Amino acid sequence: MLNLPFKALADPTRRKIILLLKEHDMTAGEIADQFKMTKPSISHHLSTLKQAQLVTDERKGQNIYYSLNTTVFQEVVNWFFNAGHVNEGGNSDEEC
Binding site for its own copies (CB under 8 A): 3, 6-7, 9-10, 12, 15, 18-19, 22-23, 73, 76-77, 79-80, 83-86, 96
Other Cβ atoms closer than 10 A to 79:
13
> Is 62 an interacting residue with respect to DNA (CB under 7 A)?
yes
> Is 24 an interacting residue with respect to DNA (CB under 7 A)?
no
Of 63 and 92, which has the nearer Cβ to DNA? 63
> Is 29 an interacting residue with respect to DNA (CB under 7 A)?
yes
Of 12 and 90, which has the nearer Cβ to DNA? 12
Task: Give CB contacts under 8 A, 24+ apart, made by 71-74.
Answer: 72/5, 73/5, 73/18
Q: Is the distance from CB of 28 to CB of 42 less than 8 angstroms?
A: yes
